[in-house]
A and B are shown apart, each in its own frame.
Chain A
Amino acid sequence: MQNIELQGARPQVRTTPQRMAGRRRYWRETMLAYLFLAPAAILLFVFSIRPLFYAFYMSLNTWSLRRGPVDFIGLANYQRLFQDDKFWSSLLVTFYYALFTIPVTLGIGLLVAYLLFQGVRGLSVYRTLYFLPFITSLVAASTVWATLFNPQSGFINKTLNALGLPAQKWLQEPNGVFQLAANNFGVRLPEWAAGPSLALVTIMIFVIWQRLGYDVVIYLAGLSNIPKELYEAARIDGADGWQLFRHITVPLLSPTIFFLIVISTIGALQAFTQIITMNQAAAQTKGGPLDTTMTTTIYLFRVFYGEAGPPNYSYATAIAFVLFLIILGLTLLQRWGSSRWVHYS
């Protein structure tokens, strides 16, 4: 008997009484394990798994705030999405947001991490300082940045004035940044080329500040996994700094870069807190000036809250589902594309 105990609970081929005892132990352990799993499993079922299916069910019905489902409408909500200009413009805003913030943060983060990794004195001090914005609450940090960018009394405009540069409306500016740049030459760009509004770019600048430390810390962890001998060997072969970076650091760091791209994409497509807070602090509506900072998550929130027509729970869940499918699709696409450039050792 002692023997079976030591071997663990998996039933083994033995004489009948021993096998029965083993099986009894296996099922006893199974019951115990279920007991251990129960608290987490119940919470996950109630607040994650069931809501997933329920949300889909909601999106297929019209919904009354008090009485729940009213009429089954099938995919009508999804058809409506295709003709909803606000939804499409929110997707465009979301993509602008992702396409600007992710590469810039990844690029600057890599530069900073690479500099830090050259055996710079005070590495841990720098790392601590760079990481600080990431742990600070988004609401507080967004509020501070919105006041820095305040068109009347903000630090940024004051500095621009001192440098002889024109002040900007920042979070209150609905015009696209390319159009604003073209204004200097008196050029009128077509609407599609106007670019993200300055209000959105202002939020993006904040986000880069906020996320940079996270990327730096993750990069540093990745860099410390690269074997030192590789650099030494390459240096003996006469490789210069750029070649070391290009042919050793980047390929061996590619799993880290890939991880950051996936995580950042998911985060960017769900951007919410910084946008409503900065707009609130700039005395704008939740979507910013002329809705030019209204990401899909903000739009969803407004449909849910009834700020864009009466509250519509079922339409809001349909938006959530489409957003989820987009995130899922992008993640799969990134995974598929990653086989071309990510090297796992």
Chain B
Amino acid sequence: MASVAVDARNQAARRQRTLRQITTHTILIIGAIVAMFPFLWMVLTSLKTFQEYATQQFFPASPQWVNYATALTMAPFGRYLANTVFISVTTTALVLFTSCLAAYAFARMTFFGREVIFVIFLTTLMIPFEITMIPNFLTIRDLDWIDRYPALIFPFGASVFAIFLLRQFFAQIPSDYYDAAVLDGASHLRFLAAIVLPLSQPALVSVALFTFLGSWNSLLWPLIVTNSPEMRPIQVGLYTFINEASTNTHLLMAASVIAVAPILVLYFFAQKQFIEGISGSGLKG
């Protein structure tokens, strides 16, 4: 008899748990649909004929891959993409180079003025883009870099955020490693290259991913310092294409797919690094 009562109670508890699970999943699935719907809509629209879009047919009768070809003839998206890849990769490499060296100095070296210099570096995090934008535009103009690649790369070549993140990481490497390396006659640079960098891969990957992402997605600065279509990165290209495509929404959506697809592929392969990188970014303090 007692066991029947326990069974009944267990069953009720289980039923309640199942009910809660269902409610939770329902809410989460609705959220996921809202999060995903614009992507679905973008891809579907990019495959419709103008007629199908205008009559608001939800699915295209047959996918119009030709829209992508048409978009590519209306604006040089290939060139935009190549520009963006070049700019993003170079910026990322430059940020990794400058940040690794600086972070190493702050983490592992003893030198005159270390604390003061570090505070100055950190203070620059406070300076908003709006303030530096106009003087930087003048600097770029004086260097005769308007409409040239360096204008899109060098202003973002140093990241205090990356330096800060890497410094935290480098500082955690046991100093025994350094002592041993010195006994073997290694210099700081050797130690950095042979020991510190390989041990810091997760931090380096997250710095690289977010620098790349930021560079790929930026609009305001490239809008200011590029004039000719040949120099536009993809975001500026897409932004100007909004006018060029006019009411041809199906072509505009094809162009949007072109602009986001590389990042979506990258995200697909490195989602863990993206999410862990973000999770670890701001929560130390």
Interface residues of A (CB under 8 A from B): 5-6, 8-10, 26-27, 29-30, 32-34, 36-37, 39-41, 43-44, 46-52, 54-55, 58, 68, 111-112, 115-116, 118, 120, 126-133, 135-141, 143-145, 147-148, 150, 153, 155, 158, 209, 212-214, 217-218, 220-222, 225, 255-256, 259, 263, 266, 270, 272-273, 276-277, 280-281, 297, 300-301, 304, 313, 316-317, 319-321, 323-324, 327-328
Bitwise, B38-78 to A at CB < 8 A (1) or not (0) is 11011001000000011010000000000000000000000
Q: Contacting chain A: which of B2-10, B20-28, B195-203?
A: B20-28
Question: Inside 8 A of B174's CB, which chain A residues have their CB?
Answer: none
A127 and B271 alpha carbons, distance in the complex (Å): 10
CB nearest neighbor in A for B217? A137
Q: A37-B102, A43-B158, A221-B279 are in contact. List 9 more A-B contacts (CB 8 A).
A: A30-B111, A33-B105, A47-B139, A54-B138, A132-B39, A155-B56, A272-B220, A277-B239, A281-B242
B104 an interface residue at 8 Å Cβ cutoff? Answer: yes
A306 and B38 alpha carbons, distance in the complex (Å): 34
Partner of A209, one of B35, B124, B160: B35
Question: Inside 8 A of B128's CB, which chain A residues have their CB?
Answer: 266, 270, 320, 323-324, 327
Bitwise, B102-131 to A at CB < 8 A (1) or not (0) is 101100011110100100110010111111
CB nearest neighbor in B for A319? B130
B1 an interface residue at 8 Å Cβ cutoff? Answer: no
Question: Inside 8 A of B124's CB, which chain A residues have their CB?
Answer: 44, 48-49
A44-B124, A147-B253, A217-B275 known; A320+B242 contact, CB < 8 A: no
Bitwise, B233-255 to A at CB < 8 A (1) or not (0) is 01100110011000001001100
A130 and B12 alpha carbons, distance in the complex (Å): 33
Question: Inside 8 A of A222's CB, which chain B residues have their CB?
Answer: 283
Question: Inside 8 A of A212's CB, which chain B residues have their CB?
Answer: 35
Question: Inside 8 A of A209's CB, which chain B residues have their CB?
Answer: 34-35, 38
A41 and B117 alpha carbons, distance in the complex (Å): 9
Question: Inside 8 A of B133's CB, which chain A residues have their CB?
Answer: 304, 320
**B219→A136 contact, CB < 8 A:** no
Question: Inside 8 A of B83's CB, which chain A residues have their CB?
Answer: none
B90 an interface residue at 8 Å Cβ cutoff? Answer: no
A133 and B241 alpha carbons, distance in the complex (Å): 21
A30-B111, A139-B238 known; A36+B259 contact, CB < 8 A: no
Number of B residues with CB within 8 Å of any CB on chain A? 85
A225 and B279 alpha carbons, distance in the complex (Å): 11
**A120→B117 contact, CB < 8 A:** no
A140 and B121 alpha carbons, distance in the complex (Å): 33
A329 and B274 alpha carbons, distance in the complex (Å): 32
Separation in Å of the A150 CB from the closest CB of chain B? 8
**A32→B278 contact, CB < 8 A:** no
- Please classify the interface of chain B as helix (H, G, I), strand (E, B), loop, or mixed, using the class held by over half of its residues: helix
Question: Inside 8 A of B256's CB, which chain A residues have their CB?
Answer: 140, 143-144
B213 an interface residue at 8 Å Cβ cutoff? Answer: yes
**B130→A324 contact, CB < 8 A:** yes
**B31→A37 contact, CB < 8 A:** no
Separation in Å of the B47 CB from the closest CB of chain A? 14
A276 and B157 alpha carbons, distance in the complex (Å): 26
Question: Inside 8 A of A48's CB, which chain B residues have their CB?
Answer: 124, 127, 132, 158
Question: Inside 8 A of A214's CB, which chain B residues have their CB?
Answer: 278
A58 and B24 alpha carbons, distance in the complex (Å): 55
Question: Inside 8 A of A50's CB, which chain B residues have their CB?
Answer: 135
B168 an interface residue at 8 Å Cβ cutoff? Answer: no
Question: Inside 8 A of B127's CB, which chain A residues have their CB?
Answer: 48-49, 51-52, 324
Closest 5 CB pairs of A and B: A51-B135, A221-B279, A43-B158, A33-B111, A30-B111
